[in-house]
Amino acid sequence: MPVGDYQLIQAWQKVLELSQLKPGQAVTILTSAATHPQNLSAATVAAQSLGAVVSRLDLPPLNADKALSRDPFAYLGETPLTGNRPALAALKSSDLVIDLMTLLFSPEQHEILAGGTKILLAVEPPEVLVRTVPTLADRARVRAACERLGRAKTMTVTSRAGTEINFALGEFPVVGEYGFVDEPGRWDHWPSGFLFTFANEGGSNGRIVIDRGDIVLPQKNYVAEPITLTVEKGFVTRIEGGIDAELLREYMASFKDPEAYAISHIGWGLQPRTYWSTLSLYDREQTIAMDARAFEGNFLFSLGPNNEAGGARTTACHIDIPLRACTVSLDGEAVVRDGQVLDGENAR
């Protein structure tokens, strides 16, 4: 159902309050050609209603000649901030940046955050945002899971479909996303509700089976035929299966970059207000499919860059793949079993 302006403004006010926005603080709303106009207007009114000094910075899109789709994650090359000193200065001088453009995987974002500016990304349609307004309980749950993951030295993932893979951990930090930015220098994404880390370099080995009904992003497809990935020393060395495997192979090959095949982030979903089935209800142009990334109990793994966590891989290819019905174990202890989170809080 469509969302009324009043309801969306209330949602934005709640998230900005959780983000500790104070009267007199500077808010810059970052926009581009694909920004949803209702999100822009509601975010502007909500920030002003809380006493913030609001500016809008609109930047032209890039990479259309290189990307194979309109999805903002389809090509992670240069951003509109690359070499744009005036725009970067404006964002660095802000207390909060509301990112309605999708600024990710860039050194400029790290530079902005390093100065204490907070960045909140929100590019899903209004009805998704209203359904997934974050809570303090979301934060507590994600933080507890992050603490457990941070102690682990190994992650093992298995499934009845045939997944059996081991990840060595410890070289990279754990990242939790709960939908608001309540600390200086924090980045987060509304909606979210999951956590991840990156395996040690060369520390991923085994087999991943993307089963029927699992989702491949940014293609935004439910897989119809299983895809089997062989992972050796941190890289996918074989992609086997039917037509879905062929599609994935051609897409990844188009980047002409061996780093595209590296295992990137690994973690699991904790958000009970997002759903595996939601992607089937939207046109591909309408959503970046955060429901698929965050739904409770998924095992989410990625292929491509790791520079968001301080690594050296900056490939333009980034693929997120949430799997259902997996068992995720840390140092031999299951934290997700057959797609059910085992923290005692997974009742809807």
The tens digit of pLDDT for each residue in 14-34 reads 999 999 999 999 999 999 999
Tell me how far apart the alpha carbons of residues 148 and 154 are, in angstroms, rounded to a whole number: 12
Question: CATH number for the domain including 102?
Answer: 3.40.50.2300
- Of 72, 99, 131, the position where a domain reaches its end is 131
Tell me how far apart the alpha carbons of residues 295 and 274 are, in angstroms, rounded to a whole number: 5
Average pLDDT over residues 187-199: 98
Separation in Å, CA 77 to CA 26, 65, 80, 99: 29, 11, 10, 18
More confident residue, 191 or 75: 191
> Do 177 and 155 belong together in one domain?
yes
Tell me how far apart the alpha carbons of residues 81 and 87 are, in angstroms, rounded to a whole number: 7
What SS3 class is residue 137? Answer: helix
What SS3 class is residue 47? Answer: helix
Tell me how far apart the alpha carbons of residues 173 and 196 are, in angstroms, rounded to a whole number: 9
Q: Residue 167: inside a domain, yes or no?
A: yes
Structural domain for 92, as ranges: 5-131
Tell me how far apart the alpha carbons of residues 284 and 304 are, in angstroms, rounded to a whole number: 22
> Do 57 and 164 belong together in one domain?
no
pLDDT of residue 67: 80
Q: Residue 348: inside a domain, yes or no?
A: no
Q: Partners of 29 in the beta sheet?
A: 56, 98
pLDDT band at 348 (very low <50, low <70, confident <90, very high): very low
pLDDT of residue 12: 98
- For residue 164, give both structure tokens: 């059996």
Residues 6+ away with beta carbon under 8 Å from 152: 169, 330, 331
pLDDT of residue 346: 52
Please report, as a single letter, which amino acid is at residue 172: F
- Give the count of domains, the chain: 2
The tens digit of pLDDT for each residue in 154-186 reads 999 999 999 999 999 999 999 999 999 999 999
- Of 105, 131, 157, the position where a domain reaches its end is 131
pLDDT band at 347 (very low <50, low <70, confident <90, very high): very low
- Of 115, 131, 147, the position where a domain reaches its end is 131
The tens digit of pLDDT for each residue in 41-94 reads 999 999 999 999 999 999 998 888 888 888 888 888 788 899 999 999 999 999
The DSSP code sequence of 216-279 is EBTTTEE-SS-EEEEEETTEEEEEEESHHHHHHHHHHHTT--GGGGBEEEEEEE-BTTS-GGGG
| Count of Cβ atoms closer than 10 Å to residue 80 Cβ | 20
Q: Residue 107: inside a domain, yes or no?
A: yes
The tens digit of pLDDT for each residue in 130-152 reads 999 999 999 999 999 999 999 99
The tens digit of pLDDT for each residue in 326-335 reads 999 999 999 9
The tens digit of pLDDT for each residue in 243-285 reads 999 999 999 999 999 999 999 999 999 999 999 999 999 998 8
The tens digit of pLDDT for each residue in 86-107 reads 999 999 999 999 999 998 878 8
